[in-house]
């Protein structure tokens, strides 16, 4: 699935007046044999796209819940190749898949080979939190050749000039980090976050999605009211691990109620 299909799906959802909801799951948590079923479940619930984490031994941007999920995945035998092979089984799915990884696994696989594997697996985009904007040229040309979106993250603490540059460069959507530090559930978000999201949305060429720390239906509604939608990670990972799929359905439904 190309980045154009990702763009088209988001455009269609927003044109209906709905907000975007992108759940994060860790590939291999619960076993790779559960991956495609979980993707199907999230699609049935109304997810807009899925951010799929590749398990990695040094996940510097991940909070405790996602780190633990990565450890479980690695212990179950999940590998990068195994994830690609599993995704290929259902590569004609309608649900866009966005891989969240770090540069180390990409380097080890080979940048060109990694991009080709993404195409073969039906992946639409990549999120690479430890790839600085100043060094992304090493990968952008190859991703463009293979029609894969590079989704940029922008930080709450970034200078305005950097925020504006990331707004111009990003593809697919702009991932607005709403907290300082790693991923994980948060209790509240300040007015500063609301102002930050409004600033990013002003003049943006792509949808702006808020992520990191979103953990309740109320937060989904509140943050979606200031941008185009949300990415929810730790709460979704925890719900799958605990077998509480009702909360996943409720959070996706909450995103529709925020319009």
Query: Which residues form the catalytic set?
Result: 51, 62
How would you class 190 by CB atoms within 10 Å of its CB: exposed for 0-12, middle for 13-18, buried for 19 or more?
exposed
d(CA 219, CA 221): 5
- The token duo for 155 is 């930080």
Phi, psi of 140 (to 5 degrees): -65, -40
User: Residue 132 in 3-state DSSP?
Assistant: coil
Q: What is the dihedral of CA 226, 101, 179, 258, to 10 degrees?
A: 30
End-to-end distance of the chain based on CA atoms, in angstroms? 28
| Alpha helix ranges (H) inside the chain | 3-15, 35-45, 64-75, 80-88, 103-109, 111-120, 137-145, 160-169, 191-201, 217-224, 234-242, 245-257
Q: Are the C-beta atoms of 161 and 136 separated by less than 8 Å? A: no
Q: List all residues 6 or more positions away from 68 whose beta carbon is below 8 Å from its beta carbon.
A: none
Pairing between β-strand 153-154 and β-strand 149-151 as defined by DSSP bridges: unpaired
């Amino acid at each position: 699935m190309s980045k154009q299909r990702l763009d088209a799906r988001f455009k269609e959802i927003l044109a209906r007046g709905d907000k975007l909801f992108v759940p994060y799951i860790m590939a291999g948590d619960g076993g790779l044999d559960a991956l495609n079923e979980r993707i199907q479940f999230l699609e049935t619930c109304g997810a807009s796209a899925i951010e799929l984490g590749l398990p990695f031994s040094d996940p510097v941007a991940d909070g405790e819940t996602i780190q633990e999920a990565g450890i479980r995945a690695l212990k179950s035998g999940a590998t990068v190749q195994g994830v690609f092979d599993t995704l290929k089984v259902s590569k004609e799915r309608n649900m866009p898949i966005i891989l969240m990884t770090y540069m180390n696994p990409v380097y080890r696989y080979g940048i060109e080979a990694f991009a080709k594997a993404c195409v073969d697996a039906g992946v639409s985009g990549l999120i690479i939190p430890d790839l600085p904007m100043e060094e992304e040229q090493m990968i952008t040309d190859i991703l463009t050749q293979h029609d894969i979106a590079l989704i940029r993250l922008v930080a709450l603490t970034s200078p305005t000039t950097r925020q504006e540059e990331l707004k111009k460069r990003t593809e697919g959507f702009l991932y607005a980090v709403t907290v300082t530090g790693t991923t994980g559930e948060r209790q509240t978000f300040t007015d500063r976050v609301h102002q930050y999201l409004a600033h990013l949305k002003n003049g943006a060429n792509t949808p702006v999605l808020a992520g990191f720390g979103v953990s309740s239906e109320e937060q989904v509604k509140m943050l979606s009211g200031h941008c185009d939608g949300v990415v929810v990670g730790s709460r979704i990972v925890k719900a799958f691990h605990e077998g509480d799929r009702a909360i996943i359905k409720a959070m996706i439904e909450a995103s529709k109620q925020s319009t």
